[in-house]
Structure 1
Amino acid sequence: MIEQLIAEGFSYWPLVLNGAKALLVLIVGWIAAGMISRAIQRRINATPEIDPTLGNFAASMIRWALIAVVLIAVLGVFGIQATSLVAMMGAATLAIGLALQGTLSDLAAGFMLILFRPYKIGQFVDIGGTSGTVKTLNLFVTELATPDNVQIIVPNGQAWGAIITNYSHYATRRVDMVFGIDYGDNAEQAKAIILRIAGNDPRVKSDPEPWVRVTNLGDSSVDLTARVWCDAVDYWELKFSMTQAVKESFDAEGISIPYPHQVEIKKEG
């Protein structure tokens, strides 16, 4: 009985040995694929002539290609030859394609995104209503970071099929601001104040010239729209600082900014 158990144990030994070899190949190959892809990514991104988006995408492709080679090597440990593997993969292609339609769509969309490059790493974009700074574009997903540093993962298939608004594509942007003044105030004086503030700010470009017009007669205010141009990186800081500067100058020069209010009328019965 003992001899039979020992004999059966030795019969399983080759399978256990092959399993250990396969696990070792898988672990080493997986780690090596990650190290090689990261090294290639660093190398590409260190070249100023190459866009970092291409570096990340190429590194992602190389990593998955190396992992595929590792999986083939693992199957080879169990005696499955590459030719047999190709035959098996050919037979399973239809089933895999049907099961992974979304993934294959993301893969195809990834190639389209890298080919047409509607956005690059570091740019601030809106993809189908989701806004953020592009952190990564790989084979399957686009990673965004919101202004409050929340990670958002967008499948490439959805990104390619959505409306993409790229706020960082052009070097300059127009800042639009609306200021309301009282009907009793002098509109020309208010316009002169806004233009003076814009002219004194070095971030405001002189071409095109700053523009201020009366654009609306509201229920309780005369609305002035100011349009100035600046570098894209200065957009928000310029908008914030000009809004505060106009408010302070209006206060100093007697221009009132109306706000909605209610009047209570009491009738004596």
Structure 2
Amino acid sequence: MFNSINSVGGWFAANTVNILYAVAIILIAIWASNFIKKLIVGMGENYEKLDETLFHFLGSIARYAVLAFAGIAVLNRFGIETTSLIALIGAAGLAVGLALQGTLSNLAAGVMLLMFRPYKVGDFVQAADTFGKVDAITLFTTDMITFDNQHIIVPNASIWGAKITNHSHHNIRGVDMVASVAYGTDIKKAKASIAKVLKANKNVLADPAPFVEVETLAASSVDLLVRPFCEGEHYFDVKYSLPQAIYEQFQKDGIEIPFQQIVVHNAK
């Protein structure tokens, strides 16, 4: 027992300098890792256009990277071979990466979404066959609230690898709809009738001016493309209120609204 104590004491005596170096390295590494993390997180907090979630994640990675290098430096200080340890950690990391391939793809997509910000919380977005309001963006998923009040969680990989339509990107939106009239209708009169409806709607902007022109000569109707402009927050109000208002105005002005017709000719 005394021999063991003496050997341990001898080891500490022989490695006093190394122990002091190791303690210094660990203390400096802890301070440096915390400083670097705060610096990176502070970048995300100081600039409104940068996402804080991403910078918290990057700050944590940087912190653990500094601590890992400090641990390797301490082991080297005591003459412990770290090459095999690094190779073992690398192999373990590869195995974990393969096992979590789907999760890591969502993580990578989340980082890209937070960096390039094709949308932000509060935007109305159509992505991954889902249309709704963005409720939250995390490193792995995007939470969306649909118009029928469903909470849908979409993996980020499904969003980043497909088409993204951000309906809230521009403040002013064009609202496309079709107004059909019967053949033989005075088109100028139909346009004037539509103009009355657009002018009466408080959410329709005068500038840019609404666009109303014949788009298609269909089988039993003349289809006019109606495109008023409005602020983004009023998009759905305009989209779903104008068709009824145009229909009612057509009735008042005596403009015929077409319906599908089949003409049968009797053979003689």
TM-score, L = length of structure 2: 0.66
- Alignment deviations for residues 58-78 of structure 1 (CA, whole Å, 9 cap, x no partner): 67x49x98xx9xxxxxxxxxx
- Alignment deviations for residues 52-102 of structure 1 (CA, whole Å, 9 cap, x no partner): x9345567x49x98xx9xxxxxxxxxxxxxx99x87754521210111111
- Please give the alpha-carbon distance, in whole angstroms, between the structure 2 residues aligned to 1:231 and 1:244: 20
5 Å-filtered alignment, 1:113-128, equals 113-128=113-128
Aligned-residue offset at 1:208? 1.6
Change in Cα spacing, 1:100 to 1:140, as seen in structure 2 (3 Å) is same
SS at match of 2:204: coil
Change in Cα spacing, 1:155 to 1:204, as seen in structure 2 (3 Å) is same
- Please give the alpha-carbon distance, in whole angstroms, between the structure 2 residues aligned to 1:263 and 1:163: 44
- Could you say which residue in structure 2 is the equivalent of 1:8? none
5 Å-filtered alignment, 1:89-128, equals 89-128=89-128
Single out whichever of 112-121 and 144-153 deviates more from structure 2: 144-153
- Could you say which residue in structure 2 is the equivalent of 1:132? 132
- Please give the alpha-carbon distance, in whole angstroms, between the structure 1 residues aligned to 2:161 and 2:151: 21
Aligned-residue offset at 1:49? 7.1
2:95 counterpart letter in structure 1: A
| Contact 2:128–2:154, Cα closer than 8 Å, also in 1 | no
- Could you say which residue in structure 2 is the equivalent of 1:165? 165
- Please give the alpha-carbon distance, in whole angstroms, between the structure 2 residues aligned to 1:105 and 1:130: 20
- Could you say which residue in structure 2 is the equivalent of 1:251? 251
- Please give the alpha-carbon distance, in whole angstroms, between the structure 2 residues aligned to 1:126 and 1:188: 37
Aligned-residue offset at 1:184? 2.5
- Please give the alpha-carbon distance, in whole angstroms, between the structure 2 residues aligned to 1:104 and 1:222: 53
Aligned-residue offset at 1:233? 1.1
- Please give the alpha-carbon distance, in whole angstroms, between the structure 2 residues aligned to 1:154 and 1:147: 16
Structure 2: gaps of 5 or more residues = 1-41, 65-79
| Contact 2:51–2:115, Cα closer than 8 Å, also in 1 | no
SS at match of 1:118: coil
**Percent of aligned positions that are identical:** 43
- Could you say which residue in structure 1 is the equivalent of 2:51? 54
Root mean square deviation, CA, Å = 3.1
Matched, 1:208 2:212: no
Change in Cα spacing, 1:174 to 1:235, as seen in structure 2 (3 Å) is same
2:51 counterpart letter in structure 1: L
1:120 counterpart letter in structure 2: K
SS at match of 2:149: coil
- Could you say which residue in structure 1 is the equivalent of 2:242? 242
Larger Rg: 2
- Could you say which residue in structure 1 is the equivalent of 2:221? 221
- Please give the alpha-carbon distance, in whole angstroms, between the structure 2 residues aligned to 1:232 and 1:213: 23
The runs of 4+ residues in structure 1 deviating greater than 2 Å are 47-51, 53-59, 86-91, 261-267
